[in-house]
Amino acid sequence: MTTPNTPDLSVVVPLYNEAASLPKLYAELTSVLITLGLPYEILFVDDGSTDRSLELIREWSKEDKNVRSLQLSRNFGKEIATTAGIHQARGRAIIMLDADGQHPVERIPEFIARWQAGAKVVIGKRTSRQASAAKLASARLYYALFRKVTGLSLDPDTSDFRLIDQVVQAEFNKLTEHNRITRGLIDWLGYRRAYVPYAEKPREHGTATYSLRKLIKLSIDSTISLSLSPLYITAYIGAVVLPLATLLGLGMVGNWLLGDPLSLRATGGAYLIVLVLFLVGILLVSQGIIGLYLSHIHAETQNRPLYILADPPSSDKSEER
């Protein structure tokens, strides 16, 4: 059952070395949340910061009963930090946002309104972005490839500035994969959605801590964890190469047996190349077969639930977490 001090709203903030941005964020967030008039908690998740971030959030959690601080043992990356926050959140609705001031907290009431109107997932959609042309171009390329490879469409304008209902949280908490991209998983879970447009603000201090290297790794990992088709690529190539090489080889041998009516005058080297092509074809196909087995193992080890019930039995809803 819900206890009196169970908040209606949890705000999860993953942070990594954000000491410079935190005080302003905390002040703005608090004033917006107080105006809303709902019991709330702010859950700061320190992702192994090396600056004063942890000190700040610890201090606030002592002074302010609405603040909780969570500390990860080291830097795990934003996706894991956000996941940890979602696991710990106790609110009926959970909002996640960045610590660097890029997600306008003044839009929170709109997220709440959409949620109260029945949406289980409310997604912030950027109408303008603060990123270099190179970052934008590579992001577009990634999203296009991602859609091709996984068959899931991640909208490049939707962000991690999101609200999820506790029903969605309960399902999210069942997902056990290690390589994860939070918004990809929330999209995978489905549920009734609403969108809140917002203009992304410039980062107030420091530079984006997501380095290019981390972003590339995240792109590859998230694609692999959501899709099996890269495993089939060699099988597809093999499926083209093998019949081609077989036909070519048979044609050449037949031509040779008939005394070269096509006057190919094929040299030993040519036969050798066709033979190699044939063998490579066999290798690619057998690699593809291994890929098929691997894909099944992969799917099983991921241990995802087979389906998600949009409306679980009522006993689940009142469960205390």
- Which residues would be at the binding site for ligand UDP (CB under 6 A)? 14-16, 18, 47, 75, 77-78, 81, 98-100, 102, 203, 208-210
DSSP letter for each residue of 28-89? HHHHHHHHHTS-EEEEEEE-S-SSTHHHHHHHHHHH-TTEEEEE-SS---HHHHHHHHHHH-
In this chain, which of 30, 53, 61, 102 binds Mg ion, going by CB under 5 A? Answer: 102
Whichever of 149 and 208 has its CB closer to Mg ion, that residue is 208
The reply to whether 100 sits near Mg ion by the rule CB under 5 A is: yes
Q: Are 45 and 85 in contact (CB under 8 A)?
A: yes
Q: Are 258 and 240 in contact (CB under 8 A)?
A: no
Taking the complex as a whole, the smallest distance from the CB of residue 206 to Mg ion amounts, in Å, to: 9
Taking the complex as a whole, the smallest distance from the CB of residue 210 to Mg ion amounts, in Å, to: 7
Whichever of 46 and 100 has its CB closer to Mg ion, that residue is 100
Whichever of 105 and 308 has its CB closer to Mg ion, that residue is 105
Part in contact with Mg ion (CB under 5 A); list of ranges 7-15, 93-101, 143-151, 288-296: 93-101
Q: Which does 92 bind (CB under 5 to 8 A by kind): ligand UDP, Mg ion, none?
A: none
Q: How many residues bind Mg ion (CB under 5 A)?
A: 3
Buried b (16+ CB within 10 A) or exposed e, 217-244: ebbebbbbbbbbeebeebbebbeebbee
Phi-psi bin for 263: left (phi > 0), alpha (psi -120 to 50), beta?
A: left
Whichever of 7 and 77 has its CB closer to ligand UDP, that residue is 77
Question: Rule CB under 5 A: which residues touch Mg ion?
Answer: 100, 102, 208
